[in-house]
Amino acid sequence: MFFIEIILINACAGFLSVLPFFIVLEIFFRKQIPYLSLKHLVGDGILGIYLAAVLAIAGVPGLYELELTPNMNLLPFVDLTTNPLHYFENMLLFLPIGFLLPALYPRCQSLKNCILPGFCFSLSIELLQIFSFRATDVDDLIMNTAGCAAGYGIFWLIHKLYPAAASDFTAFPEEGDAEAYLAAQNEVTRQPYMKQKLPRLFNAEAFVFMIASWAGALLLTPVFKAIIWNIFS
């Protein structure tokens, strides 16, 4: 029971720490790309909050808590027979990320483009754990990436069976929709279509929200953890 309380408190601290960053980002993206759907922006928020919760649960330290305490395992699957649940938990932790990335961002709707952000996110966690009390474990990296791939597999299956539902939260479900929208907008305003392009930042939207979640984890999560623990202690 106490373990569950720790997870809930860490997840809540992660949510609160990232909230101000995501409010700013949501306003910014809405201003820069006003034709993004509200569903897509809500999906952005869900992904970002989940990323922040993952960082908090993983015990990522704040900037002022960094201390070099290396504890590393570079041999894969050494504990597979003694602690198989740990492998399953690490895979399950990243499954929602593998599902949300292609559901939100058309650029992530290939397996490679979906796994790469998940791999980088997991790798950054493992590297930063060198400066915390947690162990840096190659097994975590492998299983996190596998979980991301499994999440992509679930999205792919839903996309094949229910394509409309699978594309409900993407900004532009089909290739070329963005350009078609821009052309239509110019038609409405009777302005010539000049082959406008989306802001470059839109193509890196997933990484922007990952960076924002890291900012919250490094700057604010330890503060909110302390506040919440004081409230319930």
pLDDT value for 190: 43
Does the pLDDT value for residue 171 go beyond 80?
no
How remote is the C-alpha of 180 from its chain's centroid?
Answer: 29
Under a CB-based contact definition with an 8 Å cutoff, are residues 130 and 70 in contact? yes
pLDDT value for 176: 42
Percent of the chain at pLDDT above 90? 24
Residue 47 burial (C-beta neighbours within 10 Å; 0-12, 13-18, 19+): buried
pLDDT value for 202: 63
Query: Which pair of structure tokens corresponds to residue 20?
Result: 């101000």
Q: Using 50, 70 and 90 to split pLDDT, how confident is the model at 115?
A: very high
Residues 6 or more apart from 32 whose CB is under 8 A from it?
199, 201, 202
pLDDT value for 198: 54
Under a CB-based contact definition with an 8 Å cutoff, are residues 166 and 155 in contact? yes
Under a CB-based contact definition with an 8 Å cutoff, are residues 71 and 140 in contact? no
* pTM flag (> 0.85): no
Q: Using 50, 70 and 90 to split pLDDT, how confident is the model at 96?
A: very high
Residues in the chain: 233
Does the pLDDT value for residue 213 go beyond 50?
yes
Q: Using 50, 70 and 90 to split pLDDT, how confident is the model at 92?
A: very high
Q: What is the mean pLDDT of residues 27-44?
A: 75
Of 64-73, 79-88, 147-156, where does the model show the most confidence? Answer: 147-156
* Nearest-angstrom CA–CA distance, 12 and 6: 10
Point out the least confidently predicted range of 60-64, 82-86, 94-98: 60-64
Q: What is the mean pLDDT of residues 134-141?
A: 90
19 or 145, which is more confident: 145
21 or 100, which is more confident: 100
β partners of residue 183: none
Average pLDDT, the chain: 80
pLDDT value for 90: 94
Q: Where are the domains of the chain?
A: 2-232
DSSP state of 60: P
Q: What is the mean pLDDT of residues 28-50?
A: 78
Of 70-74, 123-127, 147-151, where does the model show the most confidence? Answer: 147-151
* Nearest-angstrom CA–CA distance, 40 and 220: 26
